[in-house]
Amino acid sequence: MAIKIITTEDGSHSLFDEELNETYHSTKGALGESQHVFIKEGLEHFLKENEVSGLSILEVGLGTGLNAFLTAKFAAEKGIKISFNSLEPIPISSEIYAALNYHKTNAERNLFMKIHESDWEIENIISDHFTLQKTTSKLEDFNTSKQFNIIYFDAFAPSKQVEVWFIENLKKCYDLLKREGILTTYCAQGQFKRNLKEVGFEVETLKGAMGKKEMVRARKL
């Protein structure tokens, strides 16, 4: 797998997969996209609508670790406990993640590195407010007895990684969510939205991140 670091327009790093000819984030801004799609329209929205002292999140696509990092920071800042599970069949190398620029302080760098250096396939205590379990399972192979409040659906685009977006996987996401749980993603493809509705989701089309027209948030009724 040929991966190289690129700098997006907001100054934050992303990765470019030369085999897929695809970036891991919007070239307009990796940090801005993650903050908008997954933190603002996912995590923050859920907490506005639901009074909870702790919650569970499933991420489809750990990638650079940016979403997990932002979520861990949010948990500490808000004093809320978050259990985070992340799927990543092809983890990035230590040489790559050590060079990414998402952290501004030594404490943030330590947090980011702890996320990446934590053991796979077991639950790790990353901080007083954040636990992390990473797995190399694909979504279609992922098995758990847990249910989640939020799913960050952050796989490569349907045109690049079509199997992840199959309706069977969207049904699996529906079943993995608790009632009133949400799935949030940067993708607003028409067929994807129709498939979400078909498996039972209530679908909202929202303003996208970093100049992108639309994104999607789906709720399990």
d(CA 15, CA 79): 31
Question: Over the stretch 182-211, which tens digit does the pLDDT of each residue have?
Answer: 999 999 999 999 999 999 999 999 999 998
What are the chain's domains?
29-220 (3.40.50.150)
| Mean pLDDT of all residues in 19-30 | 96
In this predicted structure, what is the pLDDT of residue 211?
85
Q: Is pLDDT of 1 > 90?
A: no
| Mean pLDDT of all residues in 170-179 | 98
pTM of the predicted structure, to 2 decimals: 0.98
Phi, psi dihedral angles at 212 (to 5 degrees): -75, 140
| Mean pLDDT of all residues in 60-72 | 98
| Mean pLDDT of all residues in 72-83 | 97
In this predicted structure, what is the pLDDT of residue 189?
97
Q: What percent of the chain has pLDDT over 90?
A: 98
**Could you tell me which residues come within 8 angstroms of residue 16 by beta carbon, excluding any fewer than 6 positions away?**
3, 4, 5, 6, 22, 23, 24
| Mean pLDDT of all residues in 107-122 | 98
Question: Over the stretch 2-18, which tens digit does the pLDDT of each residue have?
Answer: 999 999 999 999 999 99
